[in-house]
Structure 1
Amino acid sequence: MNKRLKILRTELDLSQAEFSKKLSLGQSTYAALEIGKSPIKDRHIKLICSTFNVNEEWLREGKGDMFVTNINQQLGVELARIFNRGDNLTKKLILGLSELDENEIEIVKILVDGLIEKKKQS
């Protein structure tokens, strides 16, 4: 399970310090879990799964998908990845979209579709 912790952390593009902070754990405490020096307790598993939308079966046994597959939870995981990377422009765009009405969103959709199509052609 400790190997899957490292896989999860790297998938989320987080350092041990960033990952442990999100869990409200000390970095040394988390590091001991990740390297197998300390046992991973049920409370750690529940905390990790709820914080990062991780599939508990994957974390415990390596079975199934890493993340919970509910579409809303997947979206949350993807947004968390974006925000964890620290890309200020992407964050600003996402937060800006949340302030637009339906007509303005449609305009942005048309623009993005056009950019994607242009990229495919080049």
Structure 2
Amino acid sequence: MNERLKLLRKALKLNQQEFADKIQVNRSTVAGYERGSTNLSERTITDICRVFYVNEDWLRAGEGDMFRARNTTNEELALQVGKLLKTDDEFTKNLFLEYLKLPPEMKTLFEDFVHNLAKSK
């Protein structure tokens, strides 16, 4: 698994520090994983697969493709809501809540506004 982890990091074009930051471990821990002197915990394997869309079968046993398909809309929504709940971004939380409370016709107007805003970039 240590060799596949190194292959993954290089495929992502990340140095050890950048990789470590994304999975919230120390750079020296990533170095230990890659050398094979430190075993990956179940939690770390889960984090790597979640953060980088890695196929867990590939990471563990070298089976299948390195990456899995990106999240479905529902999975992505769950992931983003989970991240939002961990922040103190009250504006975004309130915006999300107020949107969900809108009647259908107001949601349509809001969606049109957001699409037009995105096009104007």
Determine if the TM-score, normalized by the shorter chain, exceeds 0.5: yes
Q: Which segments of structure 1 move beyond 6 Å, counting only runs of 4 or more?
A: none
Q: How does 1:67-82 map to 2 (within 5 A)?
A: 67-70=67-70
Which of structures 1 and 2 has the larger relative contact order (alpha carbons within 8 angstroms, sep 6+)? 1
> What RMSD in Å do the two structures reach over aligned CA positions?
2.7
Aligned match of 2:5? 5
- Relative to the length of structure 2, the TM-score reads 0.59
- Relative to the length of structure 1, the TM-score reads 0.58
Name stretches of at least 5 consecutive residues in structure 1 with no aligned partner. 77-98, 106-122
Number of aligned residue pairs: give it.
Answer: 81
- Residues of 2 paired with 1:46 and 1:2: CA distance? 15
- Residues of 2 paired with 1:3 and 1:52: CA distance? 17
Give the percent of matched residue pairs that are identical in Structure 1 and Structure 2: 43
Aligned residue for 1:100, secondary structure, equals helix
Name stretches of at least 5 consecutive residues in structure 2 with no aligned partner. 77-116
- Residues of 2 paired with 1:56 and 1:3: CA distance? 14
Q: Which has more radius of gyration? A: 2
Q: How does 1:25-104 map to 2 (within 5 A)?
A: 25-70=25-70, 100-101=118-119
